[in-house]
Structure 1
């Protein structure tokens, strides 16, 4: 009887173990936050109800809290696992999804409490700058394997652009220079990283199937750059239009490379969500500026596509969580 009890206690949970909680799941918070902000933007353009935006915003907050608790437990119980993940040349980049999630949630929270939004933005800004410093310093150590030059490299450093996306309207006197700093770091590093990644994709072996969805991250510097630049400048010009249109072109190219039945489903699929969220927000903002029906129709199509993709990702992620695939070693 004692042996049976011991065996039952040692038997792994059907759902899996917290030690296998992947950090890239925080990308889901980025995607759902982006969807919330996109529906909020759609309300300005079409006068739609804020209910969908509110539901998505609350869901993003709940998921962030749940994932944060889960990852803290993983850190306490399996510190070596977290260290290995952070120092991994590919998966370590996904720690940037945590800091960018905080920045996007500052915009979501700011709708309900301006003070809370400001404090969350400041916290996220500090973490984002620290992480960008760490990852640029790591990259400059040299001897980087070309196979490790993947689109995920863009997340922790180019994520600094999200500081100005979320903080373009911050009332603090010092916020102007902080936003300029974020645009400087994110913008120029994006040029270097984008060139490195395209070179790797052209001259070396194709990405492993599990990393194929992350190719969509390549549009992020342009669409997030568009949002950050226009929020900071409080206007649109030809430069912002160029950013938007190139990101849109790249999305069309990558769409048919990423959304294929041959790519297996996993947590990495959430890598498509936040670039598409940025594109949707940018398209809605640009449609309001141009007041052109083709661009308005395009914004509607992209928002609908984003909503469908995120709903499918959410349902399928719950499915692989419950059947034990998500948290299985």
Structure 2
């Protein structure tokens, strides 16, 4: 039996059994921020030390969350199974695969061998999870209300393979990148249409899911990055992807960033789509060399940095006051 002191401590800081898998989205956002600042060092001449520091934070966060979630898996396996089989929360397991893929790009600055190993693990995970979740949906009898933005995440995970894998030296990497671009692009597009249909024809989503609406820009901005990495050029199709994602972000920004939306771990869902938008804007601005696009890229990077700092501080606050890990 637990002592009263141990019970009281668990009540004060919470329990690992309530560690949400969607918190891995924070690693995605911070990794994306690191990659964005690395691009900014080329476009604006900022110090690459900024990107290095943010990358280290992302790696440490992934290690800490992995230890926590593996502990949850060992101690409370039924909680993990319940989360994985949940029609909405289950999609967030793909954030682990995306985090690995983005971290492979972050780690590539320091060790190519480590980056390649992490990319292979991330690629295998993304493909496996896409298979699982698409197969699950095709069983039928799905509730229309469950067609919410997190449904898009497994497709985005497969798209991210090409984002991180453009520089992989393996002879088979080209075909893997093409396959993942095909799978991720079509899956994300189909699920995007399902989500839009649900948002238009059914009741509004619960307030806790409101931040996840920003995920809807991910197929276009991640698609832009994956497509241009694969093609090694920016053509008109890539421009269409970028501009529609930017337009959608502006539309959704005013629907998501409202004081009435309560803060929770789900807010990290805004981080990785915005990071993808920032990286896409920087890449497109460097290609076009337009002062307006450069200004837009700078504004988006600044906005992303501010939002992630606020999310990081507020998450630490609810962690230490016990609200994050409390059932």
User: Which TM-score band applies after superposition, normalised by the shorter structure?
Assistant: over 0.9
Query: What residue number does 1:74 align with?
Result: 72
SS of 1:263's partner is: coil
Choose the corresponding residue for 1:218, options 216, 219, 223: 216
Choose the corresponding residue for 2:161, options 153, 163, 169: 163
Distance 1:62 1:73 in 2: 17
Structure 1 unaligned residues grouped into runs of 5+: none
Query: What residue number does 2:51 align with?
Result: 53
- Tell me, yes or no, if the aligned pair for 1:158 and 1:185 is still in contact at 8 Å: no
How far is the alpha carbon of 1:9 from its aligned partner?
A: 2.9
Query: What residue number does 2:136 align with?
Result: 138
Query: What residue number does 1:266 align with?
Result: 264
TM-score by length of 2: 0.98
Structure 2 unaligned residues grouped into runs of 5+: none
Distance 1:93 1:112 in 2: 31
Distance 1:10 1:300 in 2: 49
How far is the alpha carbon of 1:157 from its aligned partner?
A: 2.4
1:291 aligns with 2:295: no
How far is the alpha carbon of 1:13 from its aligned partner?
A: 4.1
Pairing 1:168-317 to 2, within 5 Å after superposition? 168-317=166-315
Distance 1:170 1:197 in 2: 33
SS of 2:13's partner is: coil
SS of 1:14's partner is: helix
Distance 1:255 1:321 in 2: 26
Distance 1:8 1:284 in 2: 52
SS of 2:140's partner is: coil
SS of 1:159's partner is: helix
The 10-residue stretch of structure 1 (117-126 or 215-224) with the greater mean CA deviation from structure 2: 117-126
Q: CA-to-partner distance for each residue in 1:287-319, whole Å, 9 max, x for gaps?
A: 000000000000000000000000000000000
How far is the alpha carbon of 1:156 from its aligned partner?
A: 1.5
Choose the corresponding residue for 1:26, options 13, 24, 27: 24
RMSD of aligned Cα (Å): 1.0
Distance 1:36 1:59 in 2: 9
- Moved runs in structure 1, 4+ residues, more than 4 A? none
How far is the alpha carbon of 1:6 from its aligned partner?
A: 2.9
Distance 1:61 1:67 in 2: 10
Query: What residue number does 2:92 align with?
Result: 94
1:65 aligns with 2:83: no
How far is the alpha carbon of 1:7 from its aligned partner?
A: 2.0
TM-score by length of 1: 0.98
Distance 2:73 2:110 in 1: 32
Choose the corresponding residue for 1:42, options 40, 43, 46: 40
- Tell me, yes or no, if the aligned pair for 1:42 and 1:48 is still in contact at 8 Å: yes
The 10-residue stretch of structure 1 (12-21 or 73-82) with the greater mean CA deviation from structure 2: 12-21
Query: What residue number does 1:126 align with?
Result: 124
- Tell me, yes or no, if the aligned pair for 2:24 and 2:95 is still in contact at 8 Å: yes
Distance 1:122 1:75 in 2: 23
- Tell me, yes or no, if the aligned pair for 2:155 and 2:185 is still in contact at 8 Å: no
